[in-house]
Amino acid sequence: MLFANRDLSFIHEFIASLGYFGTFIAGALFTYGFTTPLAIALFLVIGQTQNIFVASFIGGIGALIGDIIIFKFLRLTFKDEIAKLRKENVFTYIGHAIPIHMNKHSKLKNYLTLIFAGFIIASPLPDELGISMLAIATNISERSIMILSYLFNTIGILVMLAIGSAI
């Protein structure tokens, strides 16, 4: 509504002039909840000017870097707090209320967590949620986080670029 009836062609020209570097920046912005709407707008414009497959791979690299920052921040900064939080009564109760018990079906629980977190990462929802789920709920390696982040972000960015190219 703020931009209704305004000529914003200069934004389109600026983004087009940045080329694939602008796509990389948009990918990094796609990761954080506060900047996700801006990144989506950029991808819609970029989808009209660039090859969407190349742009999605480059945007995925930018998003991967953002997710690595989030993951390292969570794992290093909140390590003690996460361990204490897992022992709280609320989480113990939730763990017993969910039919997938940690001891019996931990692989199934981990797969479901990966699928749900992957959906959050690929969607325009803040990646902080998905990465937090992976960092806290699973004992996933940094390499696996990188692979999942790149894969899911690239898919989400490709969808945004395809929508932009169709406009």
127 near 31, Cβ under 8 Å? yes
For 79-88, which contacts have Cβ atoms below 8 Å and span 24 or more sequence positions? 82/135, 82/136, 85/136, 86/136
Q: What is the pLDDT of residues 114-147, one digit of tens each?
A: 888 888 888 888 888 888 877 776 677 888 888 9
**For residue 10, is pLDDT > 80?**
no
Mean pLDDT of 57-66: 94
User: How confident is the model at residue 100, as a pLDDT?
Assistant: 46
33 has a pLDDT exceeding 90: no
At 161 the pLDDT is: 93
Tell me the percentage of the chain whose pLDDT exceeds 70.
75
* Best CA proximity match to 15, nearest among 51, 35, 37, 44: 44
